[in-house]
Structure 1
């Protein structure tokens, strides 16, 4: 049997496992609809009082939040295939409780949230939305997590740490075509070459299954994807590990934020609510429960600098 044919069979096997196995199955993550260990908080007077008198919620007394169930650990369907669970839904629940409101989660396709928000279908979007200067023209933002990509390698890899461009010189790195991480790594490679080091070799695959096969087979050294996705895969597969993180706004920080309608007045109250969660420790507990402590912010900001237009 040829090597190429063997690789095809291996890819087919991995793909079959990924398709047939429950997408939510992974040790260490509670993806039950009941969520018995969900973090709960008390109402915060200052945050609730910061809601403008003229603001009208979609449903009185309820915080209506759109979320895209794109995958664990951020947001996915629970084992009952209908309840949305994950880090973002739990954070939305804590924000609602801080404001003294009930929570209604509205599952939406990622592409649909901007129109739904501007048309008033929901009060906010909590779905891993990154702050960008272009989005700030239409929306307000209250930050709640760092926007991070992760460097992950095979568990037995000789690569120990990737912090700066020189650490990646000469490595074969899997990255998505047209992504922000590809743009950053191309700049890293240019810096390495200018410093007399080897360039980074970027590799592109059609899907996660092909990428993971390439990593495990030794055809690639590193995979770079949004950090949360790889955290879940590492817990599920037990054969990859993190060796570094990369800010989505490298060399600057880029944050993920609650998104609200421009000028609605709700953003400051949501930033206050997040800062209350940070101070009382609930914020750290939520991130730790979903293995995302590396993405913790020291404080929430309203409409901070975002990714520039490219």
Structure 2
């Protein structure tokens, strides 16, 4: 996969950690094509209204958002894109999807999720018809490289390594988070010292494991203990959490947000006990719309995002998907990304 080794593993963790059997079955119905056009909830020409959270299987609050084309931003588009009248949006959610960001919806055939929803909102501001394509993670980048895909909205982290080939317009924080039982009074509060004496589960080979083990080493040097546990899948993690075998689970913030919505009405509800940047303490990681370097798309896409931020649709989109804790105040073109030395 393009980008850093640990970031790729983080993405895989989000995919495997939140997929459920029904969604996987729905994805299987789409076939094995690794770069196919996909029906997307609300995937229609801009009409002034974009519906977000459709067919979400309870992961989102379906919301209709009024969005109009902004002629001054449309005028910034590269001539080829403007002439086509379409924005080809790439999502790398095959084969299993990664709720709540991109996955097959409750009708078992339609791509839904926060990422394709946001791509459609941006397309509406640009005055373009959104054409959402779903592929494997690897083929998402192949599509961008070849020019078949205009822009990727697929939980892509802004990294300095990726800037060699791509340009970015940031739109969401790249965060990790702690899941705890809803009854727990413990909170992370951004300080690893609060993990002293705790038992925390994490997925092996991920960015979050790397960070957690660094904290474990620091606490050990202070004479304090942090116990790290591993489970084969998220079912095991949440069973351990509900039975008190672990105090918390450290994983991707969107996956935890999804799980909180799914177990809210069960006998073992969970909550988010605090977030941490996926890039570490010294840099806030950012998720960004990704286009081919030199394509000229990053600036109009960033301006469209800033229009959505200014006019309130951005906040409503995040709230619909329970991701308000990943909001950014502004979209930036090629902001500082995860350093190459953190690969």
For the residues of structure 1 that align with 2:167 and 2:275, how far apart are their CA atoms? 27
**Which of 303, 309, 326 pairs up with 1:295?**
326
Structure 1 residues not aligned, in runs of 5+: 1-17
Deviations along 1:149-168, one digit per CA (max 9) or x if unpaired, are 11111122242344211011
> Which residue pairs with 1:80 in the alignment?
107
CA 1:111–1:59 in 2, change beyond 3 Å: closer, same or farther?
A: farther
Q: Which moved more, 1:64-73 or 1:235-244?
A: 64-73
Quote the offset at 1:102 in angstroms.
0.5
Contact kept in structure 1, 2:55 and 2:107, CA below 8 Å: no
Contact 2:161 2:339 in 1 (8 A): yes
Alignment of 1:61-80 (within 5 A): 61-69=85-93, 70-80=97-107
**2:129 aligns to what?**
102
Aligned ranges 1:154-193 → 2 under 5 Å: 154-193=181-220
Alignment-derived partner of residue 68 in structure 2: 42
Which stretches of structure 1, 4 residues or longer, exceed 3 Å deviation after superposition?
18-24
- Equivalent residue, structure 2, for 1:93: 120
Give yes or no for the alignment of 1:117 onto 2:105: no
Task: Give the conservation status (yes or no) of the 8 Å contact 1:44–1:98.
Answer: yes
**CA separation in 1, counterparts of 2:143 and 2:78?**
22
Change in Cα spacing, 1:58 to 1:154, as seen in structure 2 (3 Å) is: same
Aligned to 2:63, what secondary structure does the other structure show? coil
Number of residue-to-residue matches in the alignment: 286
Which entry has the higher C-alpha Rg, 1 or 2? 1
RMSD: 2.4
Change (3 A) 1:199 1:47: farther
Structure 1 CA distance for aligned equivalents of residues 255 and 82 of structure 2:
31
Q: Give unmatched runs, 5+ long, in structure 2.
A: 1-19, 27-52
TM-score (ref. length: structure 2): 0.78
Distance 1:127 1:40 in 2: 23
State yes or no: 1:254 paired with 2:254: no
Is 2:102–2:113's contact at 8 Å kept on the other side of the alignment? yes
CA–CA separation in structure 2 for the residues paired with 1:89 and 1:285: 15
Q: 1:40 to 1:91 in 2, by over 3 A?
A: farther
Counterpart contact for 2:23–2:108, Cα < 8 Å: no
